[in-house]
Amino acid sequence: MKKMIFCLMAMMGVLTLSAQNIYDFTVKDDAGKDVSLAEYKGKVLLIVNTATRCGFTPQYKDLEPLYQKYHAQGFEILDFPCNQFGQQAPGTIQEIHQFCTANFDIHFPQFDKIDVNGENAHPLYTWLKAQAGGGDIKWNFTKFLVGRDGKVIKRYESRDQVAAIEADMQMEVNPVLSNIMTRTSIRQYTNEPISKADIETMLRAGMAAPTAVNKQPWHFVAVTNKEKLTELAGRRGMIKLASVAIVVCGNLDKAMQGKAQEYWIQDCSAATENILLAAHALGLGAVWTGCYPMDDRVAEVSKVLKLPETIVPLCVIAIGHPAEQPTPKDKWKPENVSYNEFGGKAE
């Protein structure tokens, strides 16, 4: 019997170590039935170990509105009652579910009671802890945010407010915000070509950028010829490797007409960012390489593309199917933000 138990524990350990994402695990629901977490594939998950007689139990009041607000966008809360901390989750799972429904009107799924620490810890929680940097669960209402790819994004302790978690969660739930936050510069590409339809989509995105007094003072050159890409690259090797380079230029004939003459740089920069985000949304990799205001680069690109004097290259965007997957940098620095709040009447 002991040998059988040891073998079972060893098998669970192998599962935990070999699991690549959360979809490799199976749990039991509140009726005791096996549920593969693959059923939640492609969704954003907040996994919580809960208790009904804890000082943090009122967090259910925050969790349920969060669930209602984002559920339609592919968000799920997975509730795992646990009685390991102060014996604060007594009773059967049916009694726990009845309590939570009656007192907090929850609608997100609750699963069977589990251990989250120790030798009887569920493999799911062993994996979650390892993915978040290790360390036992300290108390009830510890939370793990899992992205649409099934990988752990962040761990939150019991005292972390649900409102603070929402900002991180929005980046995953909202596809626009997720696209913005996960885009990063890609400089290595495969030899796979980019379709003309995708190139046009990126150009359309560029032209959808904001522009002062709707002047649209831009001109785009899409370069796909390998010889031209090599010639255009100069010292910037990533352009040589790209499948297409989009050169974003300012059209000075348009820029100098009427008002807002000085804004062509801002307008073309906004268009460049739109193209970068569109490339990322299409599963492509891209990097912004500067030209203007460096006279030598402007002259070099203008010469290669035989641009008239009134078309000034702002930058060259190298684009291709990514051959690398760098991790996006977290550039959030609260010290770079100040809030100017006024009370009463403005003077």
> Do residue 177 and residue 280 come from a single domain?
no
133-156: pLDDT as tens digits: 889 999 999 999 999 889 999 999
C-alpha 174/C-alpha 209 separation (Å) is 20
* Catalytic status, residue 7: no
- 187's CB contacts (< 8 A; 6+ apart) are 237, 238, 241, 285, 287, 318, 324
Within-domain flag for 117: yes
pTM listed for this prediction = 0.71
> Do residue 277 and residue 176 come from a single domain?
no
The whole-number pLDDT of residue 9 equals: 47
Percent of the chain with pLDDT over 70: 92
Buried b (16+ CB within 10 A) or exposed e, 262-277: ebbeebbbbbbebbbb
38-76: pLDDT as tens digits: 999 999 999 999 999 999 999 999 999 999 999 999 999
> Do residue 18 and residue 63 come from a single domain?
yes
Within-domain flag for 95: yes
Q: Which of 182, 211, 245 is the last residue of a domain?
A: 182
Contact, 265 vs 212, CB < 8 A? no
Of the candidate ranges 26-35, 73-82, 253-262, 278-287, the one whose mean pLDDT is the lowest: 253-262
Within-domain flag for 58: yes
Within-domain flag for 325: no
Cβ-in-10-Å burial (0-12, 13-18, 19+) of 344 comes to exposed
> Do residue 144 and residue 38 come from a single domain?
yes
Q: Euclidean distance between the first and final Cα of the chain, in Å?
A: 81
> Do residue 21 and residue 96 come from a single domain?
yes
Strand, helix or coil at 24?
Answer: helix
Query: Kindly report the CA angle at 97 between 94 and 98, in degrees rounded to 5?
Result: 85
Number of structural domains in the chain = 2
Residue 219 corresponds to which tokens in the numbers above?
């001109």
Within-domain flag for 335: no
> Do residue 101 and residue 32 come from a single domain?
yes
* The pLDDT of residue 273 is above 80: yes
> Do residue 43 and residue 170 come from a single domain?
yes
The whole-number pLDDT of residue 5 equals: 42
* The pLDDT of residue 240 is above 70: yes
* C-alpha dist (Å) from residue 222 to 155, 275, 346: 44, 12, 50
Q: What is the CATH number of the domain that holds 159?
A: 3.40.30.10
Tell me what the mean pLDDT of segment 182-208 comes to.
Answer: 97
Domain that holds residue 17: 2-182
> Do residue 163 and residue 303 come from a single domain?
no
> Do residue 30 and residue 168 come from a single domain?
yes
* Mean predicted lDDT score pLDDT of the chain: 91
> Do residue 120 and residue 218 come from a single domain?
no
Cβ-in-10-Å burial (0-12, 13-18, 19+) of 119 comes to exposed
| pLDDT-derived band at 259, boundaries 50, 70, 90 | low
> Do residue 245 and residue 297 come from a single domain?
yes
Q: Which of 182, 217, 249 is the last residue of a domain?
A: 182
Pairing between β-strand 311-320 and β-strand 285-290 as defined by DSSP bridges: antiparallel
Q: Which of 149, 182, 215 is the last residue of a domain?
A: 182
> Do residue 254 and residue 123 come from a single domain?
no
Q: What is the CATH number of the domain that holds 240?
A: 3.40.109.10
Within-domain flag for 47: yes
Residue tagged active-site, from 7, 54, 100, 249 = 54
Within-domain flag for 31: yes
Pairing between β-strand 44-50 and β-strand 26-28 as defined by DSSP bridges: unpaired
